């Protein structure tokens, strides 16, 4: 290979170009670092060290310096919301939703987050307005889901039904059991107002949505009971056994009352005994004990309770057994010992007699179809906490 003299000119030129490129690249890095305020890095460090209050202060400083940091504003508002400072999150999202300088998609996102802020703050009318404004955007499905939550909070069940069907059109997996409960809530309001025909129509819609919805069947029996059609009420409640027998304790007392009104007490006791045997429940046992006491006397009820507690031990059952035992006892030393024992047991059973959500663990003395803690439907089984600990019942599955 021969040496060319023009190489002597090319080599210094290439070296100079390389040096110039490196110099420009370094200056670009320096300019970039100058454009990012030090407060930003401080905020990140505070977040990594789990100091959210200091991180918020640092990011606020960045936001005041550079109003084009859109993602930083969203992150800052999210921090505010997590800390419970919803009013500050609202101000940030309102600022973003009105800025013409940012992309339309970012303004829509800010409007959606603003609606969530209003929903968390309980300002439901403004939340509804914000979500409605997104009906023709890519966020329409997310906004519709938030509207469904809003209508459940407002107990606006007609709107909730409409929104649930709309979500299904968007491809969202809304359980048919939830829609059935919306119809049942409508029907319950109608029953409370004495509008039994409207209630029946709502319950028929519930069963069309979810044929296995036991609540609709129980409520239909309640309508028959209130109208004095006790034969039909019993038949309706008995049909609910095919849907989900573990909900029978909810109607046990009224089922017994219906049998009494028809003067068919022996048949009622036999039905309750069958249910207690097949679907053991402390609530059904107490209804059966009351029925036997009314029909055959307190001694027979005591024998029933004693045998059942021995066969299926529970503190709740023992508490009721001691209550029966103490009724006719003389006020002697033995009875005082028993009263002390029952008093101690009663204090402990107050926690055990609660209903418990199998999704979030929420507990309450009252039975709820929708858990007040996590808002899930059918997550509370009508069995006391003590029973669920020892004799668990699977949750009802709905499509």
Binding residues for Fe cation: 357, 360, 371, 374
Cα distance between residue 256 and residue 287, in whole Å: 8
CA 273 – CA 342 distance, rounded (Å): 26
Q: Which of 170, 131, 177 is nearest to 150 (CA)?
A: 131
Task: Count Cβ atoms below 10 Å from residue 381 Cβ, excluding itself.
Answer: 22
**Residue closest to 383 by CA, chosen among 361, 356, 363:** 356
Q: Using CA atoms, how far apart are residues 337 and 344, in angstroms rounded to an integer? A: 11
Confirm if 119 and 127 have CB atoms less than 8 A apart: yes
Which of 375, 343, 348, 350 lies closest to 362, judged by CA? 375
Binding-site residues sit at 357, 360, 371, 374
**Which tokens go with 331?**
């006020």
**Cβ neighbourhood burial of 278 (10 Å; 0-12, 13-18, 19+):** exposed
Q: Containing H/E element for 356? A: strand 355-357
Residue whose token pair is 């219906």: 258
Helix runs in 262-297, H state only: 265-278, 282-296
Q: Whose structure tokens read 């905020």? A: 43
Cα-based torsion angle of the residue sequence 167, 168, 172, 173 in order, rounded to the nearest 10 degrees: 130
């Amino acid at each position: 290979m021969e040496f060319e003299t023009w190489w002597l000119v090319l080599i210094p030129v290439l070296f100079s170009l390389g040096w110039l490129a490196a110099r420009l690249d370094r200056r670009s890095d320096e300019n970039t670092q100058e454009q990012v305020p030090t407060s930003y890095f401080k905020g990140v460090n505070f977040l990594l060290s789990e100091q959210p209050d200091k991180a918020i202060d640092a990011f606020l400083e960045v936001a005041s310096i550079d109003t084009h940091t859109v993602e930083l504003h969203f992150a800052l508002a999210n921090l505010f919301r997590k800390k419970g400072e919803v009013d500050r999150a609202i101000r940030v999202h309102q600022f973003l939703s009105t800025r013409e300088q940012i992309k339309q998609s970012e303004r829509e996102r800010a409007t959606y987050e603003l609606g969530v802020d209003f929903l968390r703050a309980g300002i439901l009318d403004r939340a509804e307005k914000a979500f409605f404004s997104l009906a023709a955007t890519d966020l329409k499905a997310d906004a519709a889901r938030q509207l469904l939550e809003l209508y459940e909070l407002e107990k606006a069940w007609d709107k909730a039904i409409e929104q649930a069907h709309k979500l299904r059109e968007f491809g969202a997996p809304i359980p048919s059991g939830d829609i059935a409960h919306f119809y049942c809530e409508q029907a319950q309001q109608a029953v409370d107002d004495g509008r039994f025909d409207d209630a029946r129509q709502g319950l028929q819609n519930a069963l069309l949505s979810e044929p296995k919805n036991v609540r609709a069947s129980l409520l239909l029996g309640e309508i028959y009971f209130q109208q004095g059609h006790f034969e039909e009420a019993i038949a309706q409640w008995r049909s609910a056994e095919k849907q989900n027998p573990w909900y029978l304790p909810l109607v046990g007392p009224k089922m017994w009352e219906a049998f009494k009104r028809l003067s068919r007490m022996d048949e009622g006791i036999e039905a309750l005994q069958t249910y207690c045997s097949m679907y053991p429940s402390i609530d059904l046992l107490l209804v059966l004990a009351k029925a036997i006491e009314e029909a055959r006397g307190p001694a027979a009820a005591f024998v029933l309770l004693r045998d059942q507690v021995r066969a299926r031990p529970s503190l709740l059952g023992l508490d009721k057994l001691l209550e029966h035992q103490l009724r006719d006892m003389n006020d002697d030393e033995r009875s005082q010992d028993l009263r002390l024992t029952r008093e101690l047991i009663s204090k402990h059973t107050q926690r055990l007699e609660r209903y418990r959500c199998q999704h979030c663990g929420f507990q309450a003395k009252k039975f709820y179809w929708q858990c007040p803690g996590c808002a899930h439907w059918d997550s509370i089984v009508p069995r006391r906490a003590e029973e669920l600990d020892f004799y668990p019942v699977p949750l009802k599955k709905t499509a």
